[in-house]
Amino acid sequence: MSTTPMAMDKTELWDAVLSRLSEKISRMEFCTWFKKVQIDEMNHEAIVIACPTEMNRNWLETKYRAVILANVRAVNPQIGEVFFRVNLKLADAQPSNPSLFQKKPNPRKLPNKPEVRLAEGIESRVIHAKFTLDNFIVGEENRLAHAACLAVAESVGSGQGTKYNPLFVYGGVGLGKTHLLQGTANEIMRRNPDACIVYTTSERFTNEIIKGIRERKGENLRKKYRRVDALIIDDVQFFEGKEQTQNELFNTFNDLFEFGKQIIFSADRPPAELTGISDRLRSRMGWGLSVDVQLPNYETRMAIVQAKSRELGLVLGSDVQDFLAANVRRNLRELENLLTQVHAELEITGASPTVQSVAKIFRKLNPNQNLSVNGRSSMRSLARSTDDIITLISEFYQVPATEILGKSRKKEIVYPRQMAWLLCKDVLKMSYESIGADFGGKNHTTIMHGVRKIKKLLETERQVARHLHALHQDLGVK
Ligand code: ADP
Ligand code: MG
């Protein structure tokens, strides 16, 4: 027997509305905001919804009024208005249909499966359980980023609204951005097994948009994205020049932001420097908090070396640890590759890794880098000559030293070369003449022009200023 809308009492009506809402909004929101809510009063035209707290009422009134009304009307079209009030007695209330609020089994408990958390129908990358905020080693260079991620993870689903929205994490390759983003996703899920999180890369997001457009399912996609509690997009610099995708992201951003959903981005640059991204999207990316990750210092790198080798079950002598911490200076992913290879060799040959055997593997992976074998002494005390500067620049920009000394006019070579001149001038205090002589007999005016050019760039391009800062750090210049 079906009940006609008119004959429905308020409990039946609310149960029907809840069951519809549970399909339309994310599980976590649903459980957070609707569990203790009831219809207090109703007549033919309106209902009054009672909430257990002031915050709950405000939240429903500002964020959910429209969707509640639409679903009430879908059940009983005569109702034209909803009102909200606080009823403190509801704090102890039980829902009339508790099964709607039952916790879903936590898929993370499945053994031996990579952790995947998909919002239905949305393409998401796997979130690896191995990246956590706990096993991220914190040093001065990434402290703020780590703290911000933790604060965000705590705020999602806390019912207190979002903390920093969006959170924007930026920094060079291999400095832990993906680790932090996935660690944040894992932390949100640990606290809230019902949270619906989408972690994706800008490339995957783009492909999905293109597919949606091709199959004319763009609208569905948008509806689905609205159901997530947190949207995490890694490496947004690759949205450069992709206008249609940027438009979609802009709309999705607005939808999510309006509903207080957390958004997290990462990129190799801060938002303001993302060229090729529309002004309106770029400005939104910078609305919340932007934090950077820089290359960790020797002590932090040492802690990472120890943690990663422990994870692999690899026992390394302190001289080998020191070698690794001193030489992995640009990209921590190299460290992972290196340790994996060291581990493989150990398994095959059975011989314990030594500084020599590790250095051999290192050279294969990084033919351009000059090795420091006495650990901490690395570049800092070595930068005494033009050669040291050239080695550093070659490593930093991944350009062979022969090119830096050569005659190529290509931008990718000229810029590092001029940067080398600047360092020779400012750090080694060399004259333009002697720099010219060391760089293949160039005229001193050529050197002077090159140095001036970099100084000019320093005023306008923050990327260049950051490079110089990193190079100075390597050289131990304060
Ligand atoms: P990015 O996304 O910035 O290019 P990743 O997050 O992929 O860098 O980091 C590269 C590797 O270095 C990963 O294996 C990551 O676990 C590791 N890593 C980076 N920073 C840290 C850190 N502070 N503590 C522990 N591991 C780190
Ligand atoms: Mg990454």
Helices 411-426 and 386-397, packing angle to 10 deg: 140
- Taking domain 116-293, whether its CATH number is 3.40.630.10 is answered by no
**Which ligand lies nearest to the CA atom of residue 203 in the structure?**
2
Which residue is closest in CA terms to ligand 1's atom 25?
Answer: 136
Which ranges constitute the DSSP H helices of 88-141?
A: none
234: CA distance to ligand 2 center in Å? 7
Pocket test for ligand 1, best of 308, 333, 340 (most atoms within 8 A of CB): 333
Q: In this predicted structure, what is the pLDDT of residue 4? A: 57
| Confidence bin at 237 (pLDDT 50/70/90) | very high
pLDDT of residue 456: 94
Instruction: List the residue whose alpha carbon is closest to atom 18 of ligand 1.
Output: 176
Contact 184, 342 (CB under 8 A): no
What is the CA(295)–ligand 1 centre distance, in A?
10
Interval between CA 170 and ligand 2 midpoint (Å): 10
- Distance (Å) from CA 387 to ligand 2 centroid: 32
Residue type, 469: H
What pLDDT band is residue 370 in, cutting at 50, 70 and 90?
Answer: low
Task: Sort residue 250 into left (φ over 0), alpha (ψ -120 to 50) or beta.
Answer: alpha
DSSP-assigned beta bridge partners for residue 263: 231
Q: What is the mean predicted confidence (pLDDT) over 289-311?
A: 92
Mutate which of 143, 169, 292, 332 to test ligand 1's pocket (most atoms within 8 Å of Cβ)? 332
Q: In what order do the strands lie in the sheet with 46-51?
A: 38-42, 46-51, 81-86
Of the ligands numbered here, which is closest to the C-alpha atom of 201? Answer: 2
How far is residue 284's CA from residue 271's CA, in Å, rounded to a whole number?
A: 9
Centre of ligand 2 to C-alpha 7, Å, is 57
Q: What is the spatial distance between Cα 280 and Cα 266, in angstroms, rounded to a whole number?
A: 17
171 CA to centre of ligand 2 in angstroms? 10
Local confidence band at 116 (pLDDT 50, 70, 90 cut-offs): very low
Q: Does residue 197 surpass a pLDDT of 80?
A: yes
Q: Which atom of ligand 1 is nearest to the CA of 300?
A: 23
What is the model's pLDDT at position 225?
A: 81
How far is Cα 148 from Cα 236, in angstroms, rounded to an integer? 19
CB count within 10 Å of CB 62 equals 12
Residue nearest ligand 1's atom 1 by CA: 174
Q: What is the DSSP letter of 233?
A: E
Architecture (CATH level 2) of domain 295-366: Orthogonal Bundle (1.10)
Q: Quote the longest CA-to-CA distance of the chain.
A: 98
User: Does the pLDDT value for residue 107 go beyond 60?
Assistant: no
Q: Separation of 235 CA from ligand 2 center, angstroms?
A: 7
Overall fold of domain 5-101: GMP Synthetase; Chain A, domain 3 (3.30.300)
Mean pLDDT for the stretch of residues 396-417? 91
Nearest alpha carbon, ligand 1 atom 23: 137
Q: What is the mean pLDDT of residues 163-178?
A: 94
34-38, 64-68, 117-121, 282-286: which has the highest mean pLDDT? 282-286
DSSP letter, residue 142: T
The fourth-level CATH superfamily of domain 382-478 is DnaA protein, C-terminal DNA-binding domain (1.10.1750.10)
Nearest ligand to the CA of 330 is: 1
Distance 343 CA to ligand 1 centre (A): 19
287: confidence class by pLDDT, cuts 50, 70, 90: very high
The answer to whether the predicted template modeling score (pTM) of the entire model surpasses 0.85 is: no
- Bond preceding residue 98 cis, omega within 30 of 0: no
pLDDT in tens, 119-163: 444 555 678 888 999 999 999 999 999 999 999 999 997 777 788
pLDDT at 415: 95
Q: What is the pLDDT of residues 289-298, one digit of tens each?
A: 999 999 888 8
- Give the least confident one: 71-75, 248-252, 465-469: 465-469
Nearest Cα to 131, choosing from 115, 113, 142, 154? 115
Reported for 16-20, long-range contacts at CB under 8 A and 24+ positions apart, including other chains, are 16/75, 17/68, 17/71, 17/72, 17/75, 18/95, 18/97, 18/100, 19/97, 19/100, 20/71, 20/74, 20/75
- Output the ligand 1 site: residues, CB below 6 A: 136-137, 142, 173-179, 296, 304, 332-333, 336
* pLDDT band, very low/low/confident/very high, at 397 (cuts 50, 70, 90): confident
Q: Is 239 exposed, middle or buried (0-12, 13-18, 19+ CB in 10 A)?
A: buried
- For the chain, the structural domain boundaries read 5-101, 116-293, 295-366, 382-478
Mutate to test the pocket of ligand 1, among 138, 142, 179, 337 (most ligand atoms within 8 A of CB): 179
For the record, the structure tokens of 224 come out as 């689905």
Cα of 307 vs centre of ligand 2, distance in Å, is 19
Judged by its nearest atom, the ligand closest to the C-alpha of residue 140 is 1
- Same CATH topology for 295-366 and 382-478? no
Give residue 208 CA to ligand 2 midpoint distance, Å: 19
Atom 9 of ligand 1, nearest CA residue: 176
Tokens of 238: 């690759």
Ligand nearest to the CA of 202: 2
Q: Of ligand 1's atoms, which has the minimum distance to the CA of residue 234?
A: 2
Nearest-atom number in ligand 1 for the CA of 235 is 2
User: How is residue 250 written in tokens?
Assistant: 């802009």
The fraction of the chain above a pLDDT of 70, given in percent, is 90
State the ligand closest to the CA atom of 170. Answer: 1
pLDDT value at position 18? 93
